[in-house]
C-alpha cells in the first residue's frame, strides 16, 4: 500500500509521471513541501502549473494536507495512517517548523490533547504548529 501507484489507484487517479514523482518525493523527504521546492527537486522538468494542480488534486482526494507554517508559500505533506478522502479524513495535524533550517516536519506520533472550546464552537479539524529549533539545528 505504500507506493505511489497504489495510492493513486486507491483514489481513482491516473498514474502519471508527475504524480508519481511528487508522491515519491513526499514519501522520501518527510517534510512539508511547497510548489517551489517540488519544482526544484524535480529539476524544473515539470511545469509550475502542473504542480499546483497536482497538489490541489491530492488535497481534494485526501492524499495530502496543507501545512500552515506561517511562511510565504503554502506547503503540503502526505497524509498518514487513517486518512481517506473527504468525510472520514483524519483531521489532526501537528507540525514543527524550525526557525533555523526553515524545515517543517510532521510530528506523526504527537497527538493533540482534547481542548474545551467555548460554547457553540464546533471544530472539524485541528492544526497544531510548534516553532523553534529542531534536533539537527539545536546541536
Please identify which residue in 10, 50, 84, 127 interacts with DNA, judged by CB under 7 A.
50
Regarding 48 and contact with DNA (CB under 7 A), the answer is yes
Regarding 35 and contact with DNA (CB under 7 A), the answer is yes
Question: For the chain, what's the residue count?
Answer: 139
Q: Which grid coordinates are listed for 120?
A: 457553540
Q: Residue 25, SS3?
A: helix
Regarding 124 and contact with DNA (CB under 7 A), the answer is no
Sheet containing strand 33-34, edge to edge, reads 33-34, 75-78, 64-67
| Minimum distance from residue 125 beta carbon to its own copies (Å) | 4
Regarding 14 and contact with DNA (CB under 7 A), the answer is yes
Q: Which does 118 bind (CB under 5 to 8 A by kind): its own copies, DNA, none?
A: its own copies
CA distance 96 to 102: 10
Regarding 76 and contact with its own copies (CB under 8 A), the answer is no
Q: Which does 60 bind (CB under 5 to 8 A by kind): its own copies, DNA, none?
A: none
Q: Which long-range contacts (CB under 8 A, 24 or more apart) does 79-84 make?
A: 80/106, 80/108, 81/108
Q: Which residues contact 138 (CB under 8 A, 6 or more apart)?
A: none
Binding residues for its own copies, rule: CB under 8 A, are 66, 68-70, 74, 94, 96, 99, 107, 109-110, 112-113, 115-135, 138
Amino acid at each position: 500500500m505504500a507506493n505511489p501507484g497504489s495510492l493513486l489507484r486507491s483514489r481513482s487517479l491516473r498514474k502519471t509521471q508527475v504524480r508519481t514523482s511528487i508522491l515519491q518525493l513526499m514519501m522520501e523527504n518527510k517534510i512539508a513541501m511547497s510548489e517551489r521546492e517540488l519544482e526544484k527537486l524535480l529539476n524544473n522538468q515539470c511545469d509550475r502549473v502542473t504542480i499546483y494542480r497536482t497538489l490541489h488534486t491530492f488535497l481534494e482526494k485526501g492524499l495530502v494536507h496543507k501545512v500552515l507554517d506561517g511562511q510565504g508559500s503554502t506547503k503540503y505533506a502526505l497524509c498518514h495512517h487513517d486518512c481517506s478522502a473527504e468525510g472520514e479524513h483524519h483531521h489532526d495535524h501537528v507540525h514543527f517548523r524550525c526557525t533555523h533550517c526553515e524545515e517543517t516536519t510532521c510530528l506523526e506520533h504527537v497527538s493533540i490533547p482534547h481542548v474545551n472550546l467555548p460554547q457553540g464552537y464546533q471544530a472539524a479539524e485541528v492544526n497544531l504548529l510548534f516553532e523553534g529549533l529542531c534536533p539537527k539545528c539545536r546541536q
